[in-house]
Amino acid sequence: MNVKTRRKQKKSLRQIIAMSFVTIVVFGPIYWVTMSAFKGPQEIIRRVPSFFPENPTGSNFERLLLATDYSTFLINSIIVSSGTMFGTIAVSLCASYGLYRLKIPGGGKLAGIILLSYMIPGTLLIVPLYGTLNDIGLINSHAGLVLVNVAFTAPFCTWLLRGFLQSIPSEMDDAAAIDGAGPVRTMLQVVFPLLAPGVATVAVFSFVYAWKEFVFASQFIVSDHLSTLPIGLKGIIGQYTVDWGLVMAATVFTLLPSVILFMFIGRFFVRGLMNGATK
């Protein structure tokens, strides 16, 4: 065995060890939560943990659906996350097309300012945002929460679509203009169908952002029947006692929509991030 072969083997071994470590760190908590959701209360808090449920039970999921308002929180989160996703796609597509495709005067500087706004910590804007939403009557409403979420996801997504737009030849816009298509029609009928990976990336990013968002939802939503999942999960945890079975079951159900979404368009998301970073 020569030196070059030995170096390749050592490099492969280091890569395997690194990937194994990352896999354990990322999927370990998910595995533990999933297994715990099928355990009884005593087995969950036992001093010596078990890696598999000794007596698997679905009582935690049954109690979650029957004894709590989890289904209401789930529907609210789906409404807010879907609204954020579609709103972000619409805003970021129009903004990126106008800034990076139409080459308006000062578009480059404006694009930099928009991206800079994404870096402002959201907690600093809670008070002015609350006053603004209160003035327009959107406090304690899903519409107000969607509006705030879109305001924080659209700047990054606008910049993200820049790489995808640059990969589409501008001659296609010229050809559409010769055929009599205006900017809006060109964007919707020519450019938009070619942006599938970019739109998928924006959709996943905005949906997951709204799905797990806690700070704004806890401040701008007052009524329990309008609360989203992060707020609902906080309510399941008691002040002095914690029903870990309910918490684990709720966590598993909360993970499912994001996992299902990623299963369908995850390949576009990964490809989109890579293309957006290299273009």
- List, for residues 72-117, the tens digit of each pLDDT value: 999 999 999 999 999 999 999 888 888 877 777 766 677 777 777 7
Number of neighbouring beta carbons within 10 Å of residue 207: 25
Give mean pLDDT, residues 13-41: 85
Task: Render pLDDT for 155-199 as a digit per residue (tens, 0 to 9).
Answer: 888 888 887 887 777 777 777 777 777 777 777 777 778 787 888
Kindly list the structural domains of the chain, giving each domain's residue range(s) and its CATH number in brackets, ordered by start: 2-59 (no CATH), 68-277 (1.10.3720.10)
DSSP letter (8 states) at residue 120: S
State residue 8's pLDDT score: 73
Rounded to whole angstroms, the Cα distance separating 246 from 237 reads 9
Does the structure show a pLDDT above 70 at 262? yes
Give mean pLDDT, residues 63-75: 88
Residue type for 264, please?
F
Q: In the chain, where does DSSP find H-type helix?
A: 3-37, 41-44, 59-67, 70-100, 107-117, 126-135, 142-166, 171-178, 183-186, 196-212, 215-220, 229-236, 244-278
In three state form, how does the secondary structure of 216-272 look?
Answer: HHHHHCCCHHHCCHHHHHHHHCCCCCCCHHHHHHHHHHHHHHHHHHHHHHHHHHHHH
Task: Render pLDDT for 119-144 as a digit per residue (tens, 0 to 9).
Answer: 777 778 888 899 999 999 899 999 99
Does the structure show a pLDDT above 80 at 276? no
> Cα angle vertex 43, ends 37, 44, to 5°?
50
Between 216 and 55, the more confident residue is: 216
Q: Which of 193, 226, 97, 206 is nearest to 157 (CA)?
A: 206
Rounded to whole angstroms, the Cα distance separating 105 from 66 reads 58
* 95 in Cβ contact with 154 (< 8 Å): yes
State residue 83's pLDDT score: 95
Task: Render pLDDT for 212-240 as a digit per residue (tens, 0 to 9).
Answer: 899 899 889 988 889 999 888 887 776 56
State residue 278's pLDDT score: 47
User: In 3-state terms, what secondary structure has residue 61?
Assistant: helix
Q: Which of 240, 220, 241 is nearest to 230 (CA)?
A: 220
